[in-house]
Structure 1
Amino acid sequence: MDGLAWQAAFVSGLAEVDEEHQALLEMLQQLRSAIAAGATFSQVKPQLLACARETERHLQHEETLMATANHPLYLSHRAAHQNLLRDLSGLLEEVHGHPENLTPETIEAIGTLVVRHICEEDLPMLYLLTHPEALAQHQGAELTAENAF
């Protein structure tokens, strides 16, 4: 099975976020295909940077949705985003410093980080956003964006 393919198990119930997740995976698939076909780092660098920008934009979108809903997982999810961005940045720096290390497997590693984040972090967070009754029950359970500052 293709580790970068969109799967029904990734569906959160929030269409706009699902579409963004799917678009990110498609960008990674295109990068992997280009590299497998022999594209060099300099040839795919614009795509790689666009993927990084889109990832940052998407994560900010999620954080905005969470802050607006006073989501109880806001701070922990924001920290997970920072960790993900740090890990992705490390991979990109490695490739920039050693372009010969850009392989389809490198893109798979990036995809694994993204898929793991979707499954382990996003789906539980998005469940609460799409189930207002569950969100209401958890509002006082954790430190939130509203009561943290």
Structure 2
Amino acid sequence: MAKMPGQRPWPATITRSGDNMAESDVKAVMGEFFAAFASADMARIAACLDDDFVWTLPTGESDPHGLVVRGKAAATDYLKRRFFEDKANAPMLSDVKLEYSGDLAIMRFHVRVPAGGGKKKVDAAGLEVYRVVNGKIRSKEAYWKQVSWPDAR
């Protein structure tokens, strides 16, 4: 384990599980997922997800991980509610850039969420890390950069 000054130990290597998919296969799965998302096709979105899909969202009450959505059905239900049922308050992504490394797809973007429904306005840089295993998206970890912390003065 490598250790940074003043930090707890962290793994020096990344552990990967599942098959080692070709980058072109990972790109194909992600391309289908993004096309399905763009057309709000929940059946196509679900077809891209592994049955054991895990999505760690950038917000939530269970610090430090945020809200964790487990399973294909729960993920498609969350996507439908968050992005497609209330479009006026849905997150808007722009400046999307994708990178691939082995079984990972890394997406950088700008996210804006209007204030509404008792929620604060968001304008942040975002990062999502997708892991593709056996032709399906196994996990998605989402992060939004916090540019100010009201209690951290």
TM-score, normalized by length of structure 1?
0.29
Higher helix proportion:
1
Higher strand proportion:
2
Q: Relative contact order (alpha carbons < 8 A, sep ≥ 6): 1 or 2 greater?
A: 1
TM-score, normalized by length of structure 2?
0.28
